[in-house]
Amino acid sequence: MISEKVIQELKEICGSKFVSSDKTDRILYSYDATRKQFLPDVVVHPADAQAVSRIMKLAHHHRIPVYPRGAGTGFTGGALPVHGGMVMGMSRMNRILTIDQENLVAVVEPGVVTGDFQKAVEALGLFYPPDPASLNVSSLGGNVAECAGGPRCVKYGVTKDYVIGLEVVTPSGDLMETGGTTMKGVVGYDLTKLFCGSEGTLAVITKIIVKLLPKPQAKKTMLVVFDAIDSAAKAVSAIIREKIIPATLEFMDGRTLDCLRQTAGLSLPKGAGAALIIEVDGDTEFLDKQAQRILNVIDSLGVLENRVANTFEESEEIWKIRRAVSPSLRKLQLEKFNEDICVPRSKLPEMIRRIEKISDHYNLPIVNFGHAGDGNIHVNIMADKSDAEQMAKADQAVEALFRATLELGGTMSGEHGVGIMKAPYLSLELSSQSIQYMKILKKALDPHNILNPGKIFPDDAHALPGEMK
Amino acid sequence: MKDLEQYREWSQACVKCGACRATCPVFKSEHREGAVARGKIALAQAMMDGQLFAEERLVHELSQCLLCGSCTHLCPNQVPTSEIVAAARREVARKNGLSGFGKGVAALLTHKKAMDWMSKGSDLASKLLCRQIPDTSGLRLRFPVPGIPEERTFPKPSFKPFLKRELRQTVSRSAGPRVLFFTGCGINYIYPEIGEYLVRILNFMEIHVTLPDEQVCCGLPALSAGAGEAVDTLAKRNLKALKIHAFDYVLTACASCYGALAGIYPTLGTDYAPFAEKTRDIMDFLMNMGLAARLEALPRSADRVKVTYHDPCHLRNHGLTRPPRQLLSALPQVDYVEMADAATCCGLGGTFSVHHYETSQEIGNQKAKHVAQSGAQIVATACPGCIIQLQDSLNRQKIPARAVHLLELVSQALPVK
């Protein structure tokens, strides 16, 4: 519980309108896209970095857990107040401070919505590539904290590849800058990269400096349908081996296509077992050639049909198919365990085969789609929520999936992070030395474990008594 | 009407992904989780689970919804948040009693004579209830209520309601389909001329239109205010009023009325389904009757006016976005231009604008800005409520554009007979 005196101080810092310990507000900030719920004791919305610093000093003094929150769209529970305490919403800090066209750098506050920022830079002919599926709602602060990815990352890299500087508030309340606005910089440790993907456990991000690219002139989208998933996986390897990196290289397996057929009315050739959406971007005159090279390389690999978009509308038609995937899965009325494993690209065909084996072994449908170009697969293990046996099997299937992934040199999470959802499996992937090293770091920077406690490390996460069922 | 508990399964279909944050007009102005669909559903679930009862903060958050339905449109699971919010408001009303305002709305709407009187005594009533109403046109709130901020521009209610007017129809019996016109309060009391345009256009199409006398308010404002019983009462009376006529279609020229008749009524009972199936928005109906081709055949005027279109939520939610644009494009005196975010709610939202005039203004201002940027001199729409809000927003922003019902432009284009 947080004393009335502390609440008063918080109100002085944020303005009373932006501090609430009312049950209604506590419920409103108790969940994220994991659908799990934990009630915080108080919700605050600071206006600026100074306020964040004062709040952290107060929290440090009183040992109050603090959970920074962007848009609450995470899939691993990064924003969940699992041990009670204070949710710190960053939505008021939502200004784009500068877009520097001479240096191709922008400075933003953490609450800026990623999609809004992309529109703002694209209006100036610039480009900020990271494109998580949630980009129309998720915030840049959350994207940095989780190191978000997206379809375009196969060519352009993930969030941390664009962050070159930060302003953060440490767990003890100090305001600190890392990196800067230069393209290079090797003075001291690279703290910027340390904070990227640290899931809000090491510092509260209050300002972000990102580098920008010139916006590609045009893009070309293709939908290629294959006879089998193996063919599609081979095609991905073939494209990469040919030294072509498309801007996006998305795949959908046979079961995904079945769902789309049933629920979204997609018409596909008979025997379709998988599909790839391939998009190339760059100068207009060079696009047709590149698209043709790709089609040549994969031609002999079980292609049943290919559709090349010639207009923006045709391209949108193709992307509509991809965007219909998640809604169509939900229509199956099953609980889905959405994992985002990532394997070396060359191991993709093998990984798909292993997933099929897991599906057979546990007798559970598994639907796969995702960013094939970088080996990042969204594996959806489907189970009937009302069937306890199936749900238990799904848990086992998840573990089997992680083990298979790691055997192939992959990682349990390409994009979503660990949070509370993957914490129990941490030691499958990381050595005890590596976990120990991270813990030492966490302890040194946050000795009282007040900043986003209960995340990443299994011993913090294994028992969370505050969960609302 | 359905209890909140009956929405338990639908609430569970909300996967808390937050996609609704991208589209909710109230969220875009407020930036708080309580404003957006995901938050509202979490609160509704907390009410069902006994975590929340009818606390002041809860009631406030529930009031922060335009019931515009844009979240449902974008939701991966199409969760009907506006229905859930309306049910939660009814639940609050059941526990706390209706708010004074809600009582007023319910009492007024279910009492047709009072509505007629308010309109007849418009000068008196508006001075009494709306304080000073500036003469500078710009329509206003659908129902006069106490406590309206003075800067708000508001149309005077009409002296003679549409349904009390002597209407001359040039067609005595329909060669085509038999149609009833469900007038709605906005047209009956505030913009009777819209009804007159409709009759004129239908007569031009050689269609006689019947105006059922006993019809009352569609009930949407009562739904918005959480007055569930009033919605039931009104729906029943309307069903009775329409059933006594033989008809092929019930026409509406108010998007909200269309939303009620075609969307809400079927949820009230099976009696309403056949009636809902025959309900048509006037634009959709006119397109199907081939009006566009007849308009296109008229000589193009040399002196054309630039017109843009605003999608009323209750047409957009039913997928009715093309017919009005097709009609506009066919009009000989119009150059049709699309404005940015044409399908975003105007911000009126039934009783929303009464409780949250500032937020409603902010949403309206954005709309007015888009009208100005489009360069249009006229913004056409298909809902009296939207006209009120759009004109008020344009006036406030000093943008010299006019908000009109599309039927006005269509009627204008027809040759004088």
* CATH 3.30.465.10 domain locations along chain A: 96-214
For B179, list phi and psi in degrees, rounded to 5.
-125, 145
Q: Per-residue pLDDT tens for A296-341?
A: 999 999 999 999 998 888 998 898 888 888 777 777 777 888 899 9
CA distances from A314 to A215, A319, B109, B190, B263 (A): 21, 9, 49, 45, 33
Q: Could you tell me how far CA B403 lies from the centroid of its own chain?
A: 14
Please tell me the predicted confidence (pLDDT) of residue B154.
61
Please tell me the predicted confidence (pLDDT) of residue B157.
64
Q: Per-residue pLDDT tens for A137-174?
A: 999 999 999 999 999 999 999 999 999 999 999 999 99
How far is A326 from B76, CA to CA, in rounded Å? 7
The beta-carbon neighbor of A33 closest among B18, B42, B58 is B18
Query: Chain B within 8 Å of A73 (Cβ-Cβ)?
Result: yes
Query: Chain A within 8 Å of B77 (Cβ-Cβ)?
Result: yes
CATH class of A334-416: alpha beta
Task: Check pLDDT > 70 for residue A248.
Answer: yes
Identify each DSSP E strand in B205-290 by its residue range: 209-210, 249-252, 279-281
For residue B59, what is the nearest residue in chain A, using CA coordinates?
A: A24
B49 burial level (CB within 10 Å; 0-12, 13-18, 19+): exposed
The architecture in CATH of the region B290-413 reads 3-Layer(aba) Sandwich (3.40)
Instruction: Give the gap in angstroms from C-alpha B99 to the nearest C-alpha of chain A.
Output: 20
Please tell me the predicted confidence (pLDDT) of residue A231.
92
| Of residues B397, B322, B106, B218, the one with CA closest to residue B389 | B397
- Would you say A374 and A414 are in contact if contact means Cβ atoms under 8 Å apart? yes
Query: Chain B within 8 Å of A271 (Cβ-Cβ)?
Result: no
CA max distance for chain B: 66
Could you tell me which residues come within 8 angstroms of residue A198 by beta carbon, excluding any fewer than 6 positions away?
A: A145
CA distances from B301 to B64, B67, B197, B401 (A): 45, 40, 20, 20
Q: Scan residues 21-50 of B and list those with Cβ closer than 8 Å to A.
A: 21-22, 31-34, 39, 42-43, 46
Mean predicted confidence (pLDDT) in A70-90: 96
Q: Scan residues 296-335 of B and list those with Cβ closer than 8 Å to A.
A: none
Task: Check pLDDT > 90 for residue A200.
Answer: yes
Please tell me the predicted confidence (pLDDT) of residue B119.
56
For A126, list phi and psi in degrees, rounded to 5.
-110, 180
Please tell me the predicted confidence (pLDDT) of residue A266.
78
Please tell me the predicted confidence (pLDDT) of residue A464.
72
CATH class of B4-97: mainly alpha
Please tell me the predicted confidence (pLDDT) of residue A43.
98
Contact B57 A22 (CB under 8 A): yes
Q: Per-residue pLDDT tens for A377-432?
A: 999 999 998 899 999 999 999 999 999 999 999 999 999 999 999 999 999 999 99
Query: Chain B within 8 Å of A466 (Cβ-Cβ)?
Result: no
How far is A121 from A127, CA to CA, in rounded Å? 6
Identify each DSSP E strand in A5-112 by its residue range: 19-20, 37-38, 42-44, 66-69, 86-89, 96-100, 105-108
Write down the residue that tokens 């005594």 correspond to.
B121
Contact A33 B46 (CB under 8 A): no
Alpha-carbon Rg of chain A, whole angstroms? 23
* CATH 3.30.70.2740 domain locations along chain A: 334-416
Query: Chain B within 8 Å of A134 (Cβ-Cβ)?
Result: yes
A96-214, what's its fold? 3.30.465
pTM for the model stands at: 0.88
**Which phi-psi region, left, alpha or beta, contains residue B138 (left: φ > 0; alpha: ψ -120 to 50)?**
left
Could you tell me which residues come within 8 angstroms of residue A394 by beta carbon, excluding any fewer than 6 positions away?
A: A335, A337, A362, A364, A381, A383
Contact A330 B42 (CB under 8 A): no
Please tell me the predicted confidence (pLDDT) of residue A260.
86
A446 burial level (CB within 10 Å; 0-12, 13-18, 19+): buried
Q: Which amino acid is at A64?
A: I
B399 burial level (CB within 10 Å; 0-12, 13-18, 19+): middle
Instruction: Give the gap in angstroms from C-alpha B166 to the nearest C-alpha of chain A.
Output: 51
A216-332, what's its fold? Alpha-Beta Plaits (3.30.70)
B126 burial level (CB within 10 Å; 0-12, 13-18, 19+): buried
For residue B57, what is the nearest residue in chain A, using CA coordinates?
A: A24
Return per-residue pLDDT of chain B as tens, 417 residues: 889 999 999 999 999 999 999 999 999 888 999 999 999 999 999 999 999 999 999 999 999 998 888 999 888 888 999 999 999 999 999 888 877 767 777 777 777 776 666 555 444 444 433 333 333 323 333 333 334 455 566 666 666 888 888 877 877 776 789 999 999 989 998 899 999 999 999 999 999 999 998 899 999 988 888 888 899 999 999 999 999 999 999 999 999 999 999 999 998 889 999 899 999 999 999 999 999 999 999 999 989 999 999 999 999 999 999 999 999 999 999 999 999 999 999 998 877 877 888 889 999 999 999 999 999 999 999 999 999 999 999 999 999 999 999 999 999 999 876
- Would you say A185 and A218 are in contact if contact means Cβ atoms under 8 Å apart? no
The beta-carbon neighbor of A24 closest among B17, B58, B76 is B58
- Would you say B309 and B323 are in contact if contact means Cβ atoms under 8 Å apart? no
Could you tell me which residues come within 8 angstroms of residue A87 by beta carbon, excluding any fewer than 6 positions away?
A: A29, A40, A42, A43, A44, A67, A69, A79, A81
Please tell me the predicted confidence (pLDDT) of residue B133.
34
A349 burial level (CB within 10 Å; 0-12, 13-18, 19+): middle
Q: CA torsion, points B336, B340, B343, B347, in degrees to nearest 10?
A: -120
Instruction: Give the gap in angstroms from C-alpha B156 to the nearest C-alpha of chain A.
Output: 37
- Centre a 10 Å sphere on the Cβ of residue B78 and count the other Cβ atoms it contains: 14
Instruction: Give the gap in angstroms from C-alpha B321 to the nearest C-alpha of chain A.
Output: 18
Sorted by where each begins, the domain ranges of chain B are 4-97, 290-413
| Of residues A410, A413, A407, A383, the one with CA closest to residue A397 | A383
Angle of CA points B415, B416, B417, to nearest 5°:
110
| Of residues B151, B142, B63, the one with CA closest to residue B108 | B142
Chain A residues in contact with B76 by the CB 8 A cut-off are 326-327, 330
Query: How high does pLDDT run on average in chain B?
Result: 86
